[in-house]
Structure 1
Amino acid sequence: MTSSDRPTLGVGLIGHAFMGAAHSQAWRTAPHFFDLPLRPELTVLAGRDRVRVAEAAARLGWADVETDWRRVVARSDVGLVDICTPGDSHAEIAIAALEAGKHVLCEKPLANSVAEAEAMAEAAARAAARGVRSMVGFTYRRVPAVALARQLVAEGRIGRIRHVRAAYLQDWIADPTAPMSWRLEKDKAGSGALGDIGAHIVDLTQHITGEQLTGVSAIMETFVRERPLAASSGGLSGVAGEGMGEVTVDDAALFLGRFSGGAVATFEATRFALGRKNGIRIEVNGSEGSLAFDFEDMNVLEFFDGTEPAETAGFRRIIVTEPDHPYVGAWWPAGHGLGYEHGFTHQVVDLVTAIAKDVDPAPSFADGLQVQRVLAAVERSAANASTFTEI
């Protein structure tokens, strides 16, 4: 059967800024490199401004446009709704789509509160009983080096997990004159660095270890509490307007954690680390070895085998570009690295495959709810000064 003979999956994308562009690229690319059981069609793109969404649709490859997400959900030619909006609208759109029988892909974090995430997870469970699937978009899971790390841990190659350390460092708002955007408003974003980037390292560490965080002790800080109002917003930068706006989210979040298997952990998420544009560092230490991953060298996984003799032991630098490595066989010859955008393509591949097989994809809305509970616990801990012992 050729790709053109396969059943189609009409996709409706809500949102066309940074994440919308990344998702669009993935939907366009996946069927050209992977043998998908369904053929995705870029059916409709939704945005509030008709002129802007029409321009984005022409640029990104979408066949039609809507200015109301409800019309996307109602369309008979849409089988999957892809949500790339700010967090304050995730729950309403996702629940409506699931109840309408549409599969759903929702960007992270799943919601702006535990209550919203619980409602979404409950709706997803009801929909799954009818064969309607849902996934939350933690795309860094799909980086081949991260997928290999998960595989090595699952195979017992580093033994029992003892220590985890994770950091996600950016600097895009370190300049106090950078204008306001929705990402700096709690009612739209839910939280700041914690939810925007901290959610990723919470999910990554739980995914790699196969364990869940059970407790945290945290501090959070907002370094710049007022910023110029933006003449335009919605992306990582904007044009300054007139007046000042209050920043109502955290600029940095740091916390200790404990995993269900007893391992201890440290986490750091900040958007004030000058010189770090998208620095993700994960290290996992076990009883028989260690793994380390750095997104700034994303095609590499460092592996230490503690069972080797001391005279030859050392961290091994694995170039994760061999055809046998996760996802890599569909791409380029060995040694030709992949990039940021490939994680989104792999996400499409896994989601479409799960839908065709009529199984639940991962990470599920239940997984997203677990991350949301961790984020909420971090905020509660940071708000409770008694959890921090002064010296």
Structure 2
Amino acid sequence: MTSPQTSGTRPLGVAAIGYAFMGQAHSNAWRTVANHFDVPDFEQKVLVGRDAVAVAAAAKKYGWSESATDWREVITRDDIDIVDICAPGWLHAEIATAALAAGKHVLVEKPLANSLAESESMVAAAQAARNVGVRSMVGFNYRRVPALALARKLIDEGELGTVRQVRASYLQDWLADSEAPMTWRLRKETAGSGALGDIASHAIDQIQHLLGDTVTAVSGKLHTFTTERPGPDGIEPVTVDDAVWATLSMAGGAMASVDVSRVALGQKNALRVEVYGTAGSLTFNLENPNELYFLNGTEPIEVQGFRRILVTEPEHPYISGWWPQGHVIGWEHSFTHQIRDFLHSIADGTDPSPSFEEGLGVQQVLAGIEASSAAGGLTVPVVAVETTPAVEPVETQLLHNS
């Protein structure tokens, strides 16, 4: 294990690996974060991709100083302190473990990896690196949506009483057309799973994060509606799921339901979360990301009802870095907040959240759902992962200072 690179007074050097959808989202965050938040000095050093011409064009467009095609060479460079992994899931374990061993702080896009074995190897690497001051985080960016960060705060403060029930759904329709072409996301050997790892991972992370709780048992069902799709060499079999349904038992006694789909016609990016407690309830829909609905169950029944909170006030999580109240922000800002928090953890010498252990915890729930589906829906136990949480969630700190 190599100790962290010592940058002295120079800015932290950042390398990003991957320049497609997530690479663009992360690059945008790196490019904008210092415009809105006080963060340690850093430089967008290098963007890495397999296609030299395409990655060079992307680097210029996204604000990186240079481009490269060999990530192994990049992580050995003395001017690189942070490695941001936006490559597909099958590459996460290899790149992350190598970067951590080289003493680089690592941010890796969710899901942590494509398999439990890979996830466990990444956790072991992160724990060894943590001992010499190297930080790591998995990119569940929806934790940094201000409305969801506010929801976490309200639940933490007991505004809902004892949480009894959670419903989380994540519905998209980009695969609703059965003639949509084959991609790497539809092959198990490259994607690991379909809607399960792609979007159910977000729903499950939200459930565990919002409640500050862990899943102890699951039952579930995976289904593939379109089993073949046109590929470059003809018709190919689809080897991952299109949709998933699951029931989760929580350690604290609550029950949760999850349903996700990439073939829900008319739904574009609808992550919906509903939390029902003994004293109050919350609802959220990512397609209206600035709005949180809260019902105060302690009010007289004749005035009870869900009220809309427009989460754009400076007192709300992260909002003080943006525009005057009432001026909404969007999906991309959650990545900016994620980079902000990661940089502060590095500077402060604290462990960021979600940790690789938390990422592994989500993977264990996903594996349990897959196993339950294969067994005809039988309930499968999930073993909780020990984590090392930060002293106080950064989003809670942001309610008090900007």
Of the three residues 302, 325, 349, the one matched with 1:311 is 302
The equivalent residue for 1:62 is 64
Separation (CA, whole Å) in 1 of partners of 2:178 and 2:307: 41
Query: Per-residue CA shift, 1:339-373, capped at 9, x if unaligned?
Result: 01000000000000000000000000000000000
Separation (CA, whole Å) in 2 of partners of 1:295 and 1:154: 21
8 Å CA contact retained: 1:27, 1:40: no
Any residues of structure 2 matched to 1:108-187 within 5 Å, and which? Answer: 108-187=110-189
Query: Per-residue CA shift, 1:102-143, capped at 9, x if unaligned?
Result: 000000000011111111011101101100000000000000
Q: CA deviation at 1:386?
A: 5.8
Computed over aligned residues only, the root mean square deviation of the Cα atoms, in angstroms, reads: 1.1
Normalising by structure 1, we get a TM-score of 0.94
Q: Would the alpha carbon gap of residues 277 and 6 (structure 1) be closer, same or farther in structure 2, given more than 3 Å must change?
A: farther
Q: Tell me, which stretches of 5 or more residues in structure 1 are unaligned?
A: 230-240
Q: CA deviation at 1:69?
A: 1.0
8 Å CA contact retained: 1:31, 1:40: no
Corresponding residue SS for 1:76:
coil
Q: CA deviation at 1:76?
A: 1.1
Query: Per-residue CA shift, 1:146-168, capped at 9, x if unaligned?
Result: 00000000001101110000000
Corresponding residue SS for 2:352:
coil
Separation (CA, whole Å) in 1 of partners of 2:147 and 2:51: 39
Any residues of structure 2 matched to 1:241-260 within 5 Å, and which? Answer: 241-260=232-251
Separation (CA, whole Å) in 1 of partners of 2:288 and 2:376: 38
Question: Which letter does structure 2 place at the counterpart of 1:33?
Answer: H
Q: CA deviation at 1:6?
A: 6.6
Q: Would the alpha carbon gap of residues 350 and 6 (structure 1) be closer, same or farther in structure 2, given more than 3 Å must change?
A: farther
Q: Is 1:364 matched up with 2:366?
A: no
Corresponding residue SS for 1:387:
coil
Any residues of structure 2 matched to 1:88-103 within 5 Å, and which? Answer: 88-103=90-105
Q: Is 1:27 matched up with 2:30?
A: yes
The equivalent residue for 2:318 is 327
Separation (CA, whole Å) in 1 of partners of 2:10 and 2:144: 25
8 Å CA contact retained: 1:183, 1:189: yes
8 Å CA contact retained: 1:6, 1:39: no
Corresponding residue SS for 2:64:
coil
User: How many residue pairs are counted as aligned between the two chains?
Assistant: 372
Corresponding residue SS for 2:301:
coil
Question: Which letter does structure 2 place at the counterpart of 1:28?
Answer: R
The equivalent residue for 1:189 is 191
Query: Per-residue CA shift, 1:157-184, capped at 9, x if unaligned?
Result: 1011100000000000111111111111
The equivalent residue for 1:214 is 216
Q: Would the alpha carbon gap of residues 386 and 169 (structure 1) be closer, same or farther in structure 2, given more than 3 Å must change?
A: closer
Separation (CA, whole Å) in 1 of partners of 2:225 and 2:74: 40
Query: Per-residue CA shift, 1:307-344, capped at 9, x if unaligned?
Result: 11111111111000000000001100000001010000
The equivalent residue for 1:235 is none
8 Å CA contact retained: 2:83, 2:106: yes
8 Å CA contact retained: 2:220, 2:377: no
The equivalent residue for 1:45 is 47
8 Å CA contact retained: 2:221, 2:377: no
Corresponding residue SS for 1:52:
helix
Q: Tell me, which stretches of 5 or more residues in structure 2 are unaligned?
A: 1-7, 380-402
Q: CA deviation at 1:387?
A: 2.1
Q: CA deviation at 1:203?
A: 0.3
Separation (CA, whole Å) in 1 of partners of 2:327 and 2:347: 30
Separation (CA, whole Å) in 1 of partners of 2:303 and 2:227: 52
Question: Which letter does structure 1 place at the counterpart of 2:336?
Answer: T
Q: CA deviation at 1:65?
A: 1.1
Question: Which letter does structure 2 place at the counterpart of 1:314?
Answer: G
Question: Which letter does structure 2 place at the counterpart of 1:77?
Answer: D
Question: Which letter does structure 2 place at the counterpart of 1:21?
Answer: Q
8 Å CA contact retained: 1:182, 1:188: yes
Question: Which letter does structure 2 place at the counterpart of 1:15?
Answer: G
Q: Is 1:11 matched up with 2:14?
A: yes
Kindly report structure 1 stretches of 4+ aligned residues shifted beyond 3 Å. Answer: none
Separation (CA, whole Å) in 2 of partners of 1:162 and 1:385: 26
8 Å CA contact retained: 2:184, 2:191: yes
Separation (CA, whole Å) in 2 of partners of 1:308 and 1:112: 46
**Percent identity at matched positions?**
56
The equivalent residue for 2:394 is none
8 Å CA contact retained: 2:219, 2:377: no
Corresponding residue SS for 2:347:
helix
Q: Is 1:274 matched up with 2:276?
A: no
Corresponding residue SS for 1:183:
helix
